[in-house]
Homo-oligomer: A and B are copies of this chain.
Amino acid sequence: MQITTINIVLQYMLSKAQSKHIRSLTQQKFREQHQQFVAEGSKIATEWLSSNHKILKIIANKEWINESINLIAKHPEAEVVEVTEQELMMITSLQTPNHVLLVVAFPSIVPFPTSANKWYMALDSIQDPGNMGTLLRIADWYGIDHVLCNNHCVDIYNPKVVQSAMGAHIRVVVHYTDLELSLKQLKLPIYAAVLGGNNVYDFGRTDSGVLIIGNESKGISDTVLATATHLVTIPRKGGAESLNAAVSAGIFCALLLPQ
């Protein structure tokens, strides 16, 4: 019989300085200054702790720590703080705090693979954090591992983006870039999601390409649209003026990517 002993150094109170630091990470300028962001909630924390990402702080209630001891032990470099629900309430950016909050280090920068023959997603000025997270989750589901964003897109480490992406950041690399320039460099078919383009059902599936999704109210900007080789539209049957940006991205992936 083999007995494994797991040693974890536990801290039992959150200092004022720690609280202040964590709360500051709701703001992009502090996230960039410290190269850190926050991931909250049991499901998302489990995803991050199971990955190879560098976890800096694990702040959780007693029950969660007890249940997740093996996962925590995978990160000996992380500071582990056991807190009460009241303490979690002080630092959460969720409406109701959810057992655990992680402080995660920004991943190291990966260059954009301009030569690979696969599918990419390009996001032009996506503003809503929920949409951005959902778009990354779609990319993750369809195995699109590089997403291009212009600088008008919401920051992917915004707490609401992290929340709705459900761990997509772990597998999908996001590049903030000049979209027009980057799209021109890719020698791939470029599909722009627009209203009033060609029926998406008239296109066949292809092994590689780029799907451009535009801003929630203004759509794709003219300069980015000019790089497109195909304008594609989901045919409408009812009365809605448009579909949500993330929903349409999901439908285009289901219809254009290899089955």
Binding site for B on A (CB under 8 A): 43, 47, 130, 134, 137-145, 164, 166-168, 170-171, 201, 217, 234-244, 246-251, 253-255, 257, 259
With a CB–CB cut-off of 8 A, which chain B residues contact A242?
A: 141, 166
Q: Residues of B contacting A142 with CB < 8 Å?
A: 236-238
Given the complex, which residues of B lie within 8 Å of A145, measured CB to CB?
Answer: 238
A254 in complex: contacting residue of B47, B140, B251, CB < 8 Å? B251
Query: Can you add 9 more A-B contacts, CB < 8 Å, to A140-B240, A171-B239, A250-B250?
Result: A43-B217, A130-B130, A137-B240, A137-B243, A143-B239, A168-B240, A171-B238, A171-B240, A247-B250
Q: How far is the CA of A168 from the CA of B242 in the complex (A)?
A: 10
Contact between chains at B238 and A141 (CB < 8 Å): yes
Contact across chains for B140 and A247 when beta carbons are under 8 A apart:
no
B201 near A243 with CB under 8 A, answer no
A161 to chain B, nearest CB (A): 13
Find out whether the CB atom of A240 lies under 8 angstroms from the CB atom of B141.
yes
Closest to A138 in B: B247
A166-B240 in contact (CB<8A): yes
Task: Report chain B residues within 8 Å CB of A134.
Answer: 244, 247
Partner of A237, one of B47, B234, B247, B257: B257
Residues of chain B contacted by A255 (CB below 8 angstroms): 254
Closest A-B pairs by Cβ, 6 of them = A143-B238, A143-B237, A140-B240, A247-B250, A141-B240, A171-B239
Closest B residue, CB atoms, query A172 = B238
Q: Are B239 and A137 in contact (CB under 8 A)?
A: no
Q: Report yes or no: B250 in contact with A243, Cβ–Cβ below 8 A.
A: yes
Nearest B residue to A130 via CB reads: B130
Contact of A241 among B130, B166, B234, B251 (CB under 8 A): B166
- 9 A-B pairs in the complex with CB atoms less than 8 angstroms apart: A134-B247, A137-B243, A141-B234, A141-B238, A142-B237, A143-B237, A235-B259, A250-B250, A251-B253
